[in-house]
Amino acid sequence: MQPLGLGIVGYGGFGEFTAKAYAHMPQVRIVAITDVDATRRNAAASTYHATAYETYEQLLADPAVEIVVINTPPWLHAAQAQQAALAGKHIFLEKPLAIDLAEADNLLAILQERQVHLGIDYVLRHVPIYNILQQLTSSKLLGEITYLRLENVASNEALHGDHWFWKRQYSGGIFIEHGVHFFDLCNQLSQSLPGDISAYAHTGSDGRQDRVMANVAYNNGILASFYHAFDRPAILEQTVLHVTMEHGTAVVTGWIPDRLEIEGTLSRERYDELSNLLGVELKVTSVPAPEGITGATAGELVMAQVTREDRTADYTQAVTIGLSEFIHSIQDHNYQPQVSLQDSYSSFRLAYRAQQSIDQGHSLVY
């Protein structure tokens, strides 16, 4: 089967990173590139033996372009994806889907009408640590999920006061520009749609909304809390996801995670199953019954840690897996990718409704 032609829209830092990954994929070939910076687009086109186009419209008119990869800032996503769909091109889009719910709904209608595919590059779904976490929660070895807590504290050092990130009409706000990754991940872990949403924000003296939090009650009873802040030096950046289950806890650390720690209890006959799933040996500790608690019993506490040494390699692999799955869904209409269009819409809708909850000052239904 002939490789599909990629047209890359936006060749900034992330566009360059993903293009390098795509260039090694046998399923595709980079045939066209456009960017607002002429020097950048021409250099990229030379690197990949592609055509450099001054405008997006010129790239869409190229019959060799079968998939449009959109790496532009958020406010351009829905309009550019709509243009691509109307031109009959499939679309692989960086998050978010849109910055406005009406935009997203209109885009989905056009995709259906034109029968073209759209995928969102939710890389976290494809990194090894999260794949293991997904297997762990699906196995029910530590019981059902009861609570999810995401804490993402990020740097504002590169985000000067006039950066588009702070302007809602361009970014949609922190939940939409950034939080959708984790809304998608936790929607998948919960295996449920959100129900009620209550969100809050901190606005600094400079008018920047730099900290946001959303509490979500999923329809199956799982509770979740999401906190995002862009208010500290880069050397203090940290992302931690806590997954509380009936018989244990899993803690994942890192934006592209490099550590998973679990602690819990389960029957001895399932120790090997858990060890094999994690790919590491378990540490088992006998724990006496806590004093002063009526009915408390002694037991065995199981602990394990999974680590990854090369997060950049994991990130690169996740990017290629996402595009590979998207291509598979184009070529086989019966194939269901890990991240469906409905998944992408659901995470965006949750982010949008969380921002609306902040703006309106009360809880909302998803």
For the chain, give every domain's residue range: 4-121, 125-314+349-365
Q: Contact 258/313 with Cβ under 8 angstroms?
A: no
Q: How far apart are CA 187 and CA 247, in angstroms?
A: 21
pLDDT of residue 290: 86
pLDDT of residue 1: 79
Reference 2, options 330, 322, 338; nearest CA is 330
Q: How far apart are CA 32 and CA 25, in angstroms?
A: 16
Checking DSSP bridges between strand 67-70 and strand 4-9, what pairing results, if any?
A: parallel
- Given phi > 0 = left and psi -120 to 50 = alpha, else beta, which region is 318? alpha
**For each successive 10 residues of the chain (366 residues), what is the average pLDDT?**
95 95 97 97 97 98 98 97 98 97 98 97 97 98 98 94 94 97 98 97 94 98 98 96 98 97 97 98 94 87 97 96 97 94 97 98 96
Architecture of domain 4-121: 3-Layer(aba) Sandwich (3.40)
Q: How far apart are CA 187 and CA 302, in angstroms?
A: 27
Q: How far apart are CA 222 and CA 149, in angstroms?
A: 11
Collapsing DSSP states into helix, strand and coil, what is residue 167? coil
pLDDT of residue 317: 97
Please tell us whether the domain made up of 125-314+349-365 is placed in CATH 1.10.10.2120. no
Which residues 6+ apart lie within 8 Å of 105 measured at CB? none
pLDDT of residue 294: 87
Name the pTM for this structure.
Answer: 0.95
